[in-house]
Structures are given as C-alpha cells and as structure tokens.
C-alpha cells in the first residue's frame, strides 16, 4: 500500500491511500483546487480516486467532499449518524453516498474496519485498512483513545495518530478558556503525551512506523511532538520511525 498525508490539522485534513488497484482519500477537508494540486504533487490523478472515507462531520474533514465527489463521481463512505446529521449536504451527492455502521466491510481489494472514537462531533471513527497482508490505521480527533480502538489498531504496519497539542503550550497559549477546556477534554484532541502512550502500546504490539497527525499550529511544534514520542519509545525500550504530518505540506509517500 501507498499512504501520503496531503494535509493534517484544524485547517483541513486529507490522507491518500492506494493499494495499486484502489485509490481512496480519508477525509476531504480542503478546497477542490488544493486537493487536486496535492494529488498531482504525488503524481496521482484525481479522477482515479475511487472513494472518500469520512471520519466525522467537522468542517476540517468534509468541506471539500461535495465538490470533489461531484466533479470526479467517486463514492463517499460515511457512518449513518454523520449522514443523518448532514443529510442536507449529502443530498447533493446522494447517489455517491455509501453508509456504514461499525462492522467491517469490503471495498474492492480493501477490507475496511471502522472503530469508534470519542470526539465532540455527532459521531467520529478511525479506520484500519487491510490489503495483501498489510494494515494501515488512522485515528485523529479523539479526546481519549478507547481500548477497543487501540485493539483495532494493533498489528498495523503504519499507524497515523493524532498528537494535537503540548499540554503546557495549550495551557499558556493564545486560546480562550472555553476552547482550551474543549481541546483538553475527553471529547477533544489527543496531546503529545497521549499519543506517546498509545504509540508505546502499539510498538509493544509490533508497529514500528508512526505518523503524528493534526498538530496544532498554535499549541504544538513538530520538534516537541517528536521529542515527546521518541523519548517515550526509547524509555520503553522500543524502536520506531516517527514522522509528522503537516498542515500545508504533504508527507513523503509511505510504501508498505
């Protein structure tokens, strides 16, 4: 499989995943022009995207979906609760919409395993994608990672995990008290320390490649996030390759 984070953060999220036969996006929270140009940067044709998988209904994850799905006529997979919440929006692309619940399902040569996250949206999921013995998992926008989600992610060859904020930077940073409380809550976002604990657990279960996602531009830096996670891995006695996804630049293509 090939994986590339096209954008990650509160200004827009989208990740490209390809099996060679199947090309998908996980979330599409960028305008059409930006998604197209980022796909061209990795030499992928937007018209070859078969489907978009939605994690939740926040704007930074869905703002570009209607325009993209209309132009390229791709399928849009989403949980039934998200569909109900945003039915006015998805009515525009009703023939493209595919609803899923919490059971695993198949899409072409991909097995898709959604798992529930805890976030202040109507519903939020992470995904594990399986193909040809390889597994990629993605979990962002969750205040805590439920045990079931951790179990669902075990054995991933690549895990993309939210490391939204450094706790001290959030406390002393520019956000108002209400927003700080929301981000730090169990329905908010994972901190670097949270991500580090999860990554150590996943490393214990065999994962060695990690991408830190949804870093806050105000309350985090790549340097601090990487330092926190790498330190935790070293202290626990595990080796791992940890990289950061960025808001405005694509990552390298991860080949699995």
From residue 197 to residue 216, the character string flagging contacts with Zn ion as x (rule: CB under 5 A) and all else as - is --------------------
Closer to Zn ion at the Cβ: 142 or 207?
A: 142
Stretch that binds Zn ion, among 57-65, 82-90, 151-159, 197-205 (CB under 5 A): 57-65
For the bound state, the minimum distance from the C-beta of residue 255 to Zn ion, rounded and expressed in Å, comes to 26
58 binds Zn ion (CB under 5 A): yes
Residues that bind Zn ion (rule: CB under 5 A) add up to a total of 3
Distance CA 127, CA 149 (A): 9
Q: Where on the phi/psi map is residue 88: left (φ > 0), alpha (ψ -120 to 50), or beta?
A: alpha
For the bound state, the minimum distance from the C-beta of residue 188 to Zn ion, rounded and expressed in Å, comes to 9
Closer to Zn ion at the Cβ: 13 or 228?
A: 13
In the region spanning residues 95 to 154, those forming contacts with Zn ion, defined by CB under 5 A, are 141
Closer to Zn ion at the Cβ: 141 or 157?
A: 141
Distance CA 55, CA 51 (A): 13
Residues 6+ apart with CB under 8 A from 191: 163, 164, 165, 166, 167, 170, 184
60 binds Zn ion (CB under 5 A): yes
For the bound state, the minimum distance from the C-beta of residue 250 to Zn ion, rounded and expressed in Å, comes to 17
Distance CA 215, CA 178 (A): 19
Closer to Zn ion at the Cβ: 60 or 157?
A: 60
CA dihedral (95, 99, 105, 106) in degrees, to 10, reads 10
79 binds Zn ion (CB under 5 A): no
For the bound state, the minimum distance from the C-beta of residue 45 to Zn ion, rounded and expressed in Å, comes to 27
Residue nearest to Zn ion (CB): 58
Distance CA 13, CA 6 (A): 7
For the bound state, the minimum distance from the C-beta of residue 162 to Zn ion, rounded and expressed in Å, comes to 8
Distance CA 79, CA 146 (A): 18
57 binds Zn ion (CB under 5 A): no
Q: Where on the phi/psi map is residue 214: left (φ > 0), alpha (ψ -120 to 50), or beta?
A: left
Q: Which residues sit at the interface with Zn ion, rule CB under 5 A?
A: 58, 60, 141
């Amino acid at each position: 499989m090939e994986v590339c984070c096209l954008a990650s953060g509160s200004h827009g999220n989208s990740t490209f995943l390809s099996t060679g036969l199947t090309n998908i996006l996980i979330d599409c929270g960028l305008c059409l022009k930006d998604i197209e140009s980022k796909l061209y940067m990795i030499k992928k044709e937007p018209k070859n995207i078969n489907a978009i998988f939605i994690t939740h209904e926040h704007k930074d994850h869905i703002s570009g979906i209607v325009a993209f799905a209309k132009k390229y006529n791709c399928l849009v997979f989403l949980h039934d609760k998200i569909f109900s919440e945003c039915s006015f929006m998805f009515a525009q692309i009703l023939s493209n919409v595919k609803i899923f619940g919490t059971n695993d399902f198949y899409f072409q040569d991909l097995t898709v395993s959604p798992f529930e996250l805890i976030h202040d949206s109507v519903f939020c999921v992470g995904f594990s994608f399986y193909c040809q013995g390889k597994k990629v998992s993605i979990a962002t926008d969750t205040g805590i990672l439920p045990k079931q989600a951790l179990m669902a992610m075990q054995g991933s060859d690549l895990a993309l995990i939210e490391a939204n904020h450094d706790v001290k930077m959030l406390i002393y940073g520019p956000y108002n008290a209400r927003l700080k409380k929301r981000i730090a809550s169990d329905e908010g976002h994972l901190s670097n320390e949270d991500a580090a604990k999860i990554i150590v657990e996943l490393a214990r279960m065999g994962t060695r490649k990690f991408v830190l996602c949804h870093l806050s531009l105000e309350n985090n830096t790549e340097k601090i996030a990487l330092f926190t996670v790498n330190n935790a891995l070293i202290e626990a006695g595990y080796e791992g390759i940890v990289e950061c996804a960025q808001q405005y630049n694509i990552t390298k293509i991860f080949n699995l």
